[in-house]
Amino acid sequence: MSDEIKKDSVYTTYEARTLLKISESTIKRLLKKGILKANKVGGQYRVLGKEILRMISPELEKKAVNKYQRIKTKAKKVILEW
């Protein structure tokens, strides 16, 4: 298998794990939490290449950091108001 993730390709969870270099438990956790979106086909998950690319994009990481900072700021404000 090539290391290039093709946007329009469909991958099994094993192929997605291999491309992302993560363990089986990690991919299960990503699927369960909805971080990595997939469709169930015949009892098995299939992941679109564009979903893998979306997950590993720098923009997604920036959004996560910004969201975390907003939540942290709100929590600090609530604690100070106590």
What was the pLDDT predicted at 80?
93
pLDDT for 12-30, tens place per residue? 999 999 999 999 999 999 9
Phi/psi at 47 (5° precision): -115, 130
Whole-model pTM: value is: 0.65
pLDDT in tens, 30-72: 999 988 999 999 999 999 999 998 888 877 677 778 888 999 9
Q: Which pLDDT belongs to residue 2?
A: 62
Ordered by where they begin, the domains of the chain are 10-81 (1.10.1660)
39, β-bridge pairs: 46
3-state SS of 13-33 is HHHHHHHHCCCHHHHHHHHHH
6: pLDDT strictly greater than 80: yes
